[in-house]
Structure 1
């Protein structure tokens, strides 16, 4: 292979296995020859010039304020965001059949945070989570150039590299269409079961793709070159800022499709006079990397591009890169600018892509099928939304009305149990007369969202303490030990996580990995694993904070269960 070429593997292939193809590099020793190869293609010359202008100088004025229809929620007469809460029957346009759901949690060390994330997921009936990056040290990878958060990128990518391979690995392998949910366990909890997550994921993609189709309707009779299969959580502030390294193209991103008066007359206006509330009134429209879900193959491709961009930035060595979020968000922003450019091409009657050699490279380089959870029904980051929500009973109309009034919301937007939750069974093992209306759930008074996961990234005024102070306010906390004991018992057969209707009376059925039949503990992925598969980790080793010794007065299980019954083991 020539020094100027880079070997690209089809997704799911490992080095040394499967077909290969060569793609000329744009930079490096052979950069000039590669550039000349591309420029010799007349149509490519024009397109590359336009894209370079868009991405490097940001002068595409038509992008500014462009209102994209990604995951546009339906706003009903009450002002409720009904994304994921449709009263009419929901059908996914996905292909019928069986798929698997996997939870991947990037965690490099034990502690109460990862313990709470894992136990909340298991209590709700999620598959056994997979921990990546366990024991990893960012200094061994990047020296003093990058923070530990960057391990999220490399750890998940290495997992997908391995699990999408062709060799058998004792029930752990993934197919391209299997669904992977990456959740940052440092301060996140689950509160709704997997069937709600899966239904809202498919509904969000379905609505986004229908609106993309409308945007593309009548455009030269071409097939729509963009789609949404990946959903990332959304936040209010465009962060990290450009002086920290990434270029998020904040002013080029789609306007949020949420109601325009979400926060009253000052919606989308910053309040610089009060730093604690500066970004509060902005509708969420910026990528938050604490929650990302999508098909394994598509997620693999997205993470690969993010890793390539990270490597380039680290190679430049200009500054310390603290957070992964800027890298994920920069790739997303480039996709959105690229999509707008394609639409502008179509409006002028030009083909979206040239035909012939090199056209696929342009599409593959910028379109990653990523959209945002604008309605925050999958995940709610609490930073800049410190007072927007609380744990409450959805049937308690008087309390909701009073709290809404305190927040200057004229008419409550939380109106009982969302329809998609009404039809969802409570998790196995729940005792008493609990139902979703009288269970303590976190909900947002402004958006009307009752999210699947809650991300405690609010920190001003000591609010990080909520990861401790709010733990016993979750609905599952009083029964957590019992729910875990039931969940971790031996089973003879796997049960479906969710069954979703598709067109033509078909069904899409989600399952755990078959490894869940024999495994009763969280799994740990290591990049150098052998044919024995993924190892398991005990709750003691996962939950005990570093430095906790047998003689301390309070142990990890005293905090997680708070029931005085001692440790927990399978």
Structure 2
């Protein structure tokens, strides 16, 4: 398979990226002053496990570029699986891992997407993640932003027994019978008042899900030790091959989660992040969120670690990862201009310029690896909202 590179051209991209902040709209509004300390990665008793960070994607889009930018700002080292993968279907049509779940696409294309995505992740873990204690972190590549670096993500994860940690959604999708057999949320039953869980009919008949407690698996964010994730993905790969009409990998995770919890003798391996401490699934949750100052765990050019971040005011948590799925994908445009790496903080023009230059240096330093052969992929593309990626760069030797 020919290596496909991230779409970028060096000189033009650098010039355009430098102009991102010149064209960006600077948003300023009153912020709360609440400060909450997060786990300190430096207090870990032992050396933290190695983190393998996977982005399943076949191609680049402006939203992929945004995801990629946030990972590089927060010092992640992405490995792109499935890059350039395509498959011929009936009458020579092409299938590839799409930028979003699209139920209008032909069934053969949806199944090809799913099979190749799961196989790409499975094969990478099997061939490259050799230590059972190593952590594998995987996100949707087209609608996820970071708020903390790997060290903070790991330290949060290690506060509980190791499981396959997955994001918690307010709606079960796709609506399969297993949705009715999942564990209840441990959050207070009145966390939204008397209307809590008023949209509890999870088979698609409820008018709203805004006041539901998140408890349904969302496969857009996953963190797990290799020892648990590899056998799970081997099982998923078998299922997607055996099933006639699997909807997507999320359906497979819901089924696996339901089966585990229906069998008392089976020790659960999948855990849902009910409090959104690590993973914030945004569907029906925009009203739960608020911009407040919090620790980024990054040394920024303003001499501190606090910036305006997105908090969950219902659970009181500062999520490390934001997943803009479902109808909340519109926030990928409106909130992008509000994030601290775009606004440049709330200080003087000199301070905003310092943040802009710091972001440019971080992005230029970062790189992305192709999972097929381990070669460095040029990156990242220009990420100004609406800007199409540019042409390819040569590989780094």
Match in the other structure for 2:302: 432
Match in the other structure for 1:449: 317
How far residue 235 of structure 1 moved from its aligned partner, in angstroms, is: 0.6
5 Å-filtered alignment, 1:76-475, equals 96-97=46-47, 99-126=49-76, 128-137=77-86, 139=88, 143-144=108-109, 146=111, 148-164=113-129, 174-203=130-159, 205-206=160-161, 228-242=162-176, 247=177, 249-270=178-199, 278-313=208-243, 317=244, 319=245, 321-338=246-263, 341-342=264-265, 367=267, 369-390=269-290, 392-394=291-293, 417=294, 421=295, 425=297, 427-428=298-299, 430-436=300-306, 439-459=307-327, 463-475=328-340
Q: Give TM-score, length-normalised by structure 2.
A: 0.73
How far residue 304 of structure 1 moved from its aligned partner, in angstroms, is: 1.0
Q: Distance in 1 between matches of 2:109 and 2:364?
A: 41
Q: Give TM-score, length-normalised by structure 1.
A: 0.52
How far residue 521 of structure 1 moved from its aligned partner, in angstroms, is: 1.7
Q: Distance in 2 between matches of 1:480 and 1:292?
A: 31
Q: Does the CA-based 8 Å contact 2:75-2:150 persist in structure 1?
A: yes
Q: Distance in 2 between matches of 1:567 and 1:108?
A: 15
Gaps of 5+ in 2: 1-33, 90-94, 96-106, 345-354
Match in the other structure for 1:3: none
Task: Tell me the SS of whatever aligns to 2:219.
Answer: strand
How far residue 143 of structure 1 moved from its aligned partner, in angstroms, is: 3.8
Gaps of 5+ in 1: 1-79, 165-173, 207-227, 343-365, 395-416, 490-519, 544-555
Task: Tell me the SS of whatever aligns to 1:465.
Answer: helix
Q: Does the CA-based 8 Å contact 1:116-1:560 persist in structure 2?
A: no
Q: Does the CA-based 8 Å contact 2:62-2:383 persist in structure 1?
A: no
Q: Does the CA-based 8 Å contact 1:101-1:181 persist in structure 2?
A: yes
How far residue 387 of structure 1 moved from its aligned partner, in angstroms, is: 2.1
Q: Distance in 1 between matches of 2:278 and 2:87?
A: 29
- Structure with bigger gyration radius: 1
Q: How well do the aligned residues superpose, as a CA RMSD in angstroms? A: 3.4
Match in the other structure for 1:48: none
Match in the other structure for 1:413: none
Q: Distance in 2 between matches of 1:124 and 1:145?
A: 32
5 Å-filtered alignment, 1:1-150, equals 96-97=46-47, 99-126=49-76, 128-137=77-86, 139=88, 143-144=108-109, 146=111, 148-150=113-115
Q: Deviations over 1:292-324 (max 9, x none)?
A: 1011222111111111111111xxx3x4x4422
Match in the other structure for 2:385: 559
How far residue 386 of structure 1 moved from its aligned partner, in angstroms, is: 3.0
Q: Does the CA-based 8 Å contact 1:557-1:567 persist in structure 2?
A: no
How far residue 558 of structure 1 moved from its aligned partner, in angstroms, is: 4.0
Q: Could you say if the C-alpha distance between residues 151 and 568 of structure 1 is closer, same or farther in structure 2, counting changes exceeding 3 Å? A: closer
Task: Tell me the SS of whatever aligns to 1:467.
Answer: helix
Q: Distance in 1 between matches of 2:268 and 2:134?
A: 17
Q: Does the CA-based 8 Å contact 1:147-1:322 persist in structure 2?
A: no
Q: Does the CA-based 8 Å contact 2:66-2:383 persist in structure 1?
A: no
Match in the other structure for 1:485: 361
Q: Distance in 1 between matches of 2:228 and 2:61?
A: 31
How far residue 445 of structure 1 moved from its aligned partner, in angstroms, is: 2.2
Q: Deviations over 1:393-440 (max 9, x none)?
A: 33xxxxxxxxxxxxxxxxxxxxxx5xxx4xx74x24x1225542xx22
Q: Distance in 2 between matches of 1:300 and 1:278?
A: 36
* Farther off after superposition, 366-375 or 174-183: 366-375
How far residue 195 of structure 1 moved from its aligned partner, in angstroms, is: 2.3
Q: Does the CA-based 8 Å contact 1:123-1:484 persist in structure 2?
A: no
Q: Does the CA-based 8 Å contact 1:302-1:368 persist in structure 2?
A: no
Quick one: which of 377, 381, 387 aligns to 1:537? 377
Task: Tell me the SS of whatever aligns to 2:188.
Answer: coil
Asked which structure has the greater RCO (Cα within 8 Å, sep 6+), the reply is 2
How far residue 137 of structure 1 moved from its aligned partner, in angstroms, is: 2.5
Q: Deviations over 1:457-486 (max 9, x none)?
A: 142xxx533212211211222336633524
Q: Distance in 2 between matches of 1:481 and 1:284?
A: 39
